[in-house]
């Protein structure tokens, strides 16, 4: 039942050198894949482009065909209020439910502001969010 609230996020490994991100973005553009939200985290010698795509399976396929390292990760997206305390509310819900937040990033789309969360138990996190009266988005909502 809560599987519909699990969103497939792409984790794309990007070499830390000029033009690497542009070449990945070009592949996605040429294949008609739109990134709805993304975050780039830097590590030694490479970066990780975490992205929500309109077609995550298609994006994985075309990136792998071009020998670009990519994997899918389950995340949840929670609608938040655009006011002080929005992040606290979500973090508090996760803490009370004993769910660890590995990382998060914000997004503003057609459904308003939301936060993508990578947690240790996405289904339990989605259930906790719903119990608290908040809204989890589905892949089609993004």
The pLDDT value recorded for residue 140 is 86
Same domain, 60 and 17: yes
Range of the domain at 39: 8-73
- 54, 73, 92 - which closes a domain: 73
What distance lies between CA 7 and its chain's CA centroid? 7
**Domain count of the chain?**
2
Calculate mean pLDDT across residues 55-62.
93
Predicted confidence band of residue 3 (pLDDT cuts 50, 70, 90): confident
Instruction: Tell which of 25, 49, 73 closes a domain.
Output: 73
Quickly count: other Cβ atoms within 10 Å of residue 78's Cβ.
26
pLDDT-derived band at 2 (thresholds 50, 70, 90) equals low
Alpha helices in the chain (DSSP H): 20-30, 56-65, 86-96, 122-131
Q: Of 111, 117, 116, nearest to 142 (Cα)?
A: 111
What is the model's pTM?
0.88
For residue 73 the two structure tokens come to 């990760």
3-state secondary structure of 83: coil
């Amino acid at each position: 039942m809560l599987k519909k609230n699990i969103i497939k996020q792409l984790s794309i490994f990007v070499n830390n050198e000029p033009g690497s991100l542009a070449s990945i973005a070009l592949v996605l553009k040429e294949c008609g894949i739109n990134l709805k939200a993304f975050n780039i985290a830097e590590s030694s010698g490479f970066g990780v482009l975490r992205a929500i795509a309109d077609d995550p399976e298609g994006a994985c396929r075309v990136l792998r065909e071009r020998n670009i390292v990519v994997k899918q990760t389950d995340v949840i997206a929670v609608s938040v209020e655009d006011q002080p305390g929005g992040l606290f509310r979500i973090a508090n819900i996760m803490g009370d439910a004993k769910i660890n937040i590995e990382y998060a990033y914000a997004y503003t789309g057609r459904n308003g502001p939301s936060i993508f969360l990578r947690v240790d138990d996405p289904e339990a996190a989605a259930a906790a969010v719903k119990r608290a009266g908040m809204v989890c988005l589905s892949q089609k909502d993004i």
